[in-house]
Chains A and B, each alone.
Chain A
Amino acid sequence: MLTRLLKKLSLLVQRRRFRSDLDEEMAFHRAQSESEFISEGMSPKEAHYAAMRQFGNTTRLREQSEEVVGFRMETVIQDLGFALRQLRKNPGFGVTAVLILALGIGVSVAIFGFVDAALIQPLPFAHPDRLVDVTESAAAVPHADLSRPDYEDWKRINSSLSSLEVYAFEGYLLHVGSVTEPAPGLRVSDGFFRTLGVKPILGRDFLPGEDKPGGAKIVMLPYSTWQKRFGGRADVIGQSANLSGENYTIVGVLPREFIWQPRANAEFFTTLLDKSSCERRRSCHNLVGVGRLRDGVTVNAARAEMQRIANQLAALYPGSNRDQGAVVQPLTEFIIGDVRIILLTLLGGAALLLMIACVNVASLLLVRSESRRREIAVRGALGATKARLARQFVTEGLLLAAFGCTAGVFVAAWTMALLGKLVPKTMADGMPFLRQVGLNAHTAIFAVAVATLAAFVLAVTPALRLGSTDLQDALSEGGRGAAGRFWQRLGANLVVVELTVAVVLLAGAGLLGRSFYSLLHVETGIDPTHLATVNVIAPDSKYKTTDDTRQLYLEIERRLMALPGVQSVGMTTDLPVQCNCDTDWIRIAGKPYHGEHNETDQREVSPNYLISTLKAKLIRGRMITAQDDASHPQVMIINETLAKNYFLGEDPIGQKIGNTDLAPDSMREIVGIIADVREGGLQQDLWPAEYEPIYHSSDTYFSIAVRTAGDEKALLPTMVSTLRQVEPGLGIYDEQTMEQQIDGSQSALLHKFAMWLVGIFAGLALVLGVIGLYGVIAYSVSQRTREIGVRMALGAQRSTVYKLVMRQAVWLTAIGLMLGLACSVGVSTLMHKLLFGVEAWDAPTLLAVALILGLAALAASFIPAWRAASVNPTEALRAE
Chain B
Amino acid sequence: MAKKSDLLPGTLDLLILKTLARGTLHGYGIALSIKRSSDDVLTVEEGSLYPALQRLLLAGWLKAEWKMSETNRRARFYTLTRTGRKQLGVEISEFEQMIAAIGRVLSAPEEA
Q: Which residues of A contact B57 (CB under 8 A)?
A: 69
- In the complex, whether A43 has a CB less than 8 A from a CB of chain B is no
Closest to A8 in B: B58
Given contact pairs A26-B50, A69-B54, a sample of 12 additional A-B residue pairs in the complex whose CB atoms are under 8 Å apart: A8-B58, A21-B76, A25-B27, A25-B76, A28-B69, A28-B76, A29-B27, A32-B71, A61-B46, A61-B50, A64-B50, A65-B53
**Cα distance A33–B26 when bound, in Å?**
13
Interfacial chain B residues near A61, Cβ < 8 Å: 46-47, 50
- Residue in B54, B71, B74 whose Cβ sees the most chain A Cβ within 10 Å: B54
**Chain A contact residues, CB within 8 Å of chain B:** 3-4, 7-8, 21-22, 24-26, 28-29, 31-33, 35, 54-56, 60-61, 64-65, 67-69
Complex-state Cα separation, A35 to B32, whole angstroms: 13
Q: Given A69-B54, A69-B58, do A29 and B28 touch, yes or no (CB 8 Å)?
A: yes
Indicate if the CB atoms of B76 and A68 lie closer than 8 Å: no
* B contact residues around A7 at 8 Å (CB): 58
Using known A-B contacts A64-B51, A65-B51, A68-B54, determine if residue A28 contacts B46 with beta carbons closer than 8 Å.
no
Cα(A69)–Cα(B31), bound, Å? 21
Are A54 and B73 within 8 A (Cβ)? Answer: no
B51 touches A68 (CB 8 A): yes
B75 interface hit (Cβ, 8 Å): yes
Q: Contact: A65 with B31, CB < 8 Å?
A: no
- For the complex of A and B, list the 6 residue pairs with the smallest distance between their C-beta atoms, beginning with the closest: A32-B28, A68-B54, A29-B28, A64-B51, A68-B51, A65-B51
B17: min CB distance to chain A, Å: 16
Note all chain B residues with C-beta closer than 8 A to A56. 45-47
Give 9 CB contacts A-B under 8 Å: A25-B27, A28-B28, A29-B31, A35-B71, A60-B47, A61-B46, A64-B51, A65-B50, A65-B51
Bound Cα distance A507, B72 (Å): 81
Q: How far is the CA of A28 from the CA of B49 in the complex (A)?
A: 14
* B contact residues around A67 at 8 Å (CB): 51
Contacts of A64 in B (CB 8 A): 47, 50-51
Judged by DSSP, the binding face of B is: helix
Known: A33-B28, A68-B55, A68-B58. A25 touches B50 (CB 8 A): yes
Choose from B45, B51, B71, B75 the contact partner of A25 (Cβ within 8 Å): B75
* B54→A65 contact, CB < 8 A: yes
Interface readout for B72-112 with A: 1 if CB under 8 Å, 0 if not?
01111000000000000000000000000000000000000
Cα A4 to Cα B60 in complex, Å, equals 8
Q: Return the CB mask of B9-34 against A: 1 if under 8 Å, else 0.
A: 00000000000000000111001100
Chain B residues whose C-beta falls within 8 Å of the C-beta of A54 in the assembled complex = 46
Residues of B within 8 A of A24 (CB): 74, 76
Q: In the complex, what distance in Å separates the CA atom of A8 from the CA atom of B71?
A: 32
Partner of B26, one of A4, A28, A35: A28
Residues of A within 8 A of B66 (CB): 21
State the Cβ distance, A393 to closest chain B Cβ, in Å.
Answer: 29
Contacts of B60 in A (CB 8 A): 3-4
Closest to A11 in B: B58
Q: How long is the Cα–Cα vector from A35 to B59 in the complex, in angstroms?
A: 33
* Interface contact B50-A55, CB-CB below 8 Å: no
A55–B74 Cα gap in the complex (Å)? 19
Minimal Cβ-Cβ distance residue in B for A70: B54
Residue of A nearest to B45 (CB): A56
Q: How far, in angstroms, from A26 to B50 measured CA to CA in the complex?
A: 8
Residues of A within 8 A of B58 (CB): 4, 7-8, 68-69
List, in ascending order, chain B residues with CB within 8 A of A31's CB. 73
The residue of chain A having its C-beta at the shortest distance from the C-beta of B55 within the complex is A68
**Docked CA distance A438–B79 (Å):** 56
How long is the Cα–Cα vector from A217 to B69 in the complex, in angstroms? Answer: 89
How far is A35 from B28 in the complex, measured between Cα atoms in Å? 12
Residues of B within 8 A of A32 (CB): 28, 32, 71
Q: Which chain B residues lie closer than 8 Å to A22 at the CB level?
A: 50
Report chain A residues within 8 Å CB of B46: 26, 29, 54-56, 61
Contacts of A35 in B (CB 8 A): 71
Contacts of B71 in A (CB 8 A): 32, 35
A313–chain B nearest beta-carbon distance, Å: 76
Smallest Cβ-Cβ distance to B29: which chain A residue: A32
Nearest residue in A to B73 (C-beta to C-beta)? Answer: A28
Output the nearest chain A residue to B31 by Cβ-Cβ distance.
A29
Give the CA-CA distance A473 to B25 in the complex, in Å.
Answer: 56
User: Bound complex: CA of A8 vs CA of B60, how far in Å?
Assistant: 12
Expressed in whole angstroms, the minimum distance between the Cβ of A280 and any Cβ of chain B is 85
Most buried by A among B26, B28, B57, B75: B28
Distance (Å) between the CB of A13 and the closest chain B CB?
Answer: 15
Please, which residues of chain B bring their CB within 8 A of the CB of A8? 58
Return B85 CB to nearest CB of chain A, in Å. 18
- Taking CB atoms, residues of chain B closer than 8 Å to A4 are 58-60
CB distance from A25 to the nearest CB of B (A): 5
Q: Complex Cα distance A8/B59, Å?
A: 11
Which of A60, A68, A69 has the most chain B CB within a 10 Å cutoff?
A68
- CA A4 to CA B61, docked complex, whole Å: 12
Closest residue of chain A to B69 (Cβ to Cβ) is A28
Kindly state the separation between the CA atoms of A61 and B27 in the bound complex, as whole angstroms: 14
Give the distance in Å from the alpha carbon of A68 to the alpha carbon of B59 in the complex: 11
Q: A33-B28, A54-B46, A61-B46 are in contact. Are A28 and B75 (CB under 8 A)?
A: yes
Distance from B13 Cβ to chain A, minimum over Cβ atoms (Å): 12
**Chain B residue at minimum C-beta to C-beta distance from A25:** B76
B37-65 contacts to A (CB < 8 Å): 45-47, 50-51, 53-55, 57-60
Task: Give CA–CA (A21, B54) in the complex, Å.
Answer: 12
Q: What chain A residues lie within 8 Å of B28 (beta carbons)?
A: 28-29, 32-33
Q: Shortest Cβ distance from A27 into chain B, in angstroms?
A: 9
Give A68 to B48 CA distance when docked, in angstroms.
Answer: 11
Whole-angstrom distance between the Cβ of B8 and the nearest chain A Cβ: 20
Q: In the assembly, what is the distance between CA of A55 and CA of B59, in Å?
A: 25
A449 to B26, CA, bound (A): 48
Whole-angstrom distance between the Cβ of B52 and the nearest chain A Cβ? 8
Closest to A35 in B: B71
Please give the distance in Å from B31's CB to the nearest CB on chain A: 7
Closest Cβ–Cβ distance, residue A423 to chain B (whole Å) = 58
